[in-house]
Amino acid sequence: MTATEPATVRPPLPVKMVISGGFGVGKTTAVGSISEIEPLTTEAAITEVAAGVDDLTHTPRKTTTTVAMDFGCLTIDPTLKLYLFGTPGQERFGFMWDDIVEGAVGGLVIVDTRRLDDCYAAVDYFEHKGIPFAVAANAFDGHVEHTLEEIRWALDVTEGVPVVVFDARERGSVRDALLVVLELALARTSA
Amino acid sequence: MADGTPAPDPAGFASAVRPFLLTAGRVADDGADGHWLPVETQVVATPEGLDALDRLTFEQHDIVAVCRLPQSLAEIAARLRLHLNVVRVLAEDLRAAGQLTVHVPDSGVVQDASVLRRVIDGLRAIPDARGVPSDSD
């Protein structure tokens, strides 16, 4: 077997962002609004840490669960491609999405303002991992239930975390929410 | 032979068991550096791999065939309806055999300011709605 690869196509550099939030908040809708392909679904393994074991001196019981994960992509240019991965909807706490999230440049946590507590796990996860993220309140039926200040207070996110209102069905709106995250990631590189 | 294989059942995923028989029970556990191949890792068929298509069977054949154009591991898994970890194992085998190249993204490069700026500029150029024509199309 020769070691040279004369005609092998050079792939684009993949840049990954993660779309997260509770079950049914519009993650796949948001991915589909901006992806150049219909969102694809694959099965990924996630680690579920048994609830109630948060004492680090104990070994938490972990089980690996196979879940469906939706994703899409957007070609920026022939050398650069943006991938958007939706974390599986979690009704329970303690999921670890490291397999999906490792190497992501940023995250967008989508919240349904009628059920704010559904997104706590995602907020905690990104804070814990130190991944730049923004909170995007999905304007179902064109409006949100709370002001941005109320959402920020309820989620207890720091001043450095942008909170925006967006519409997961609108391409321009999803684009702008992603830009907020990317600007935050960029600001961090110069910090 | 793989060229007679019907399209995968669009209604569901492949059996959970058979793909792992294919990998002889191997799973994509932590690599030497303690990390799995990222889901966005790019995979491309080599000329040798495409030449060998007639001799490859089943999933190996399908993976090389779908990688005529660069694909992420996640796209391969989704398009072929295979478990992501099965694709990880088989892609590594095919890379070792010279039939694929596997390009693991360097997180330092991906998170570099110049790359982020290019993504930002590219995204800003996206029109509000799909119906709005852009100059390039």
**Predicted ipTM of the assembly:** 0.86
DSSP code per residue over A105-138: SEEEEEE-TTSGGGGHHHHHHHHHHT--EEEEEE
Range of the domain at B110: 16-27+38-124
Count how many residues are written for chain B.
137
Q: Is the pLDDT of residue B6 over 70?
A: no
- Hey, is the C-beta of A4 within 8 angstroms of any chain B C-beta? no
Residue B8 has pLDDT above 50, yes or no: no
Q: Are strands A163-166 and A106-111 parallel, antiparallel or unpaired?
A: unpaired
- CA A132 – CA A125 distance, rounded (Å): 11
Query: How many distinct structural domains can be found in chain B?
Result: 1
| Residue in A44, A14, A74, A30 with CA at minimum distance from that of residue B78 | A44
With CB atoms and an 8 Å threshold, state whether A6 touches B110.
no
Residue B102 sits at the chain A interface (C-beta within 8 Å)? no
Assign residue B118 the CATH number of its domain: 1.10.10
In the structure, how many helices (H) and strands (E) does chain B have? Answer: 7, 3
Cα–Cα distance measured from residue B8 to residue B18, given in angstroms and rounded to the nearest whole number: 14
Say which residue, A53 or B40, is predicted with more confidence: B40
What whole-number distance in Å separates Cα of residue A67 and Cα of residue B37? Answer: 18
Helix (H) or strand (E) run with residue B74 in it: helix B73-80
C-alpha torsion sign, points A125, A127, A133, A134: positive
Is residue B116 in a domain? Answer: yes
Owning domain of residue A113: 13-189
Is there a domain that residue A2 lies in?
Answer: no
- Answer yes or no: is B130 within a domain: no
Q: What integer pLDDT is reported at residue B34 of this predicted model? A: 46
- Give me A68's structure tokens: 């469906």
Nearest CA in chain B to A66: B83
Q: Do A172 and B127 touch (CB under 8 A)?
A: yes
**According to the model, what pLDDT value does residue A5 have?**
46
Residue numbers of A between 127 and 146 with CB closer than 8 Å to B? none
Number of independent structural domains in chain A:
1
**Total residue count of chain A as it appears in this document:** 191
A1 within domain boundaries: no
Buried-state track A40-75, b at ≥16 Cβ within 10 A, e below 16: bbbbbbbebbeeeeeeeeeeeeeeeeebebbbbbbe
pLDDT in tens, A122-180: 898 899 899 999 999 999 777 788 888 899 998 889 889 999 999 999 999 999 999 99
Instruction: Tell me, yes or no, if A71 comes closer than 8 A to chain B by beta carbon.
Output: yes
Please give the Cα distance from A99 to B40 (Å, whole number).
11
Interface check for A150 against chain B (CB to CB < 8 A): the answer is: no
Contact B42/A11, CB-based, under 8 Å? yes
What's the CATH number where A97 sits? 3.40.50.300
CA–CA gap between residue A116 and residue A150 (Å, rounded): 10
B39/A175 Cβ within 8 A: no
Checking if the pLDDT of B4 tops 60, the result is no
Q: Is residue B43 part of a domain?
A: yes
- What does the mean pLDDT of chain A come to? 84
Distance from CA of A103 to the nearest CA of B (A): 6
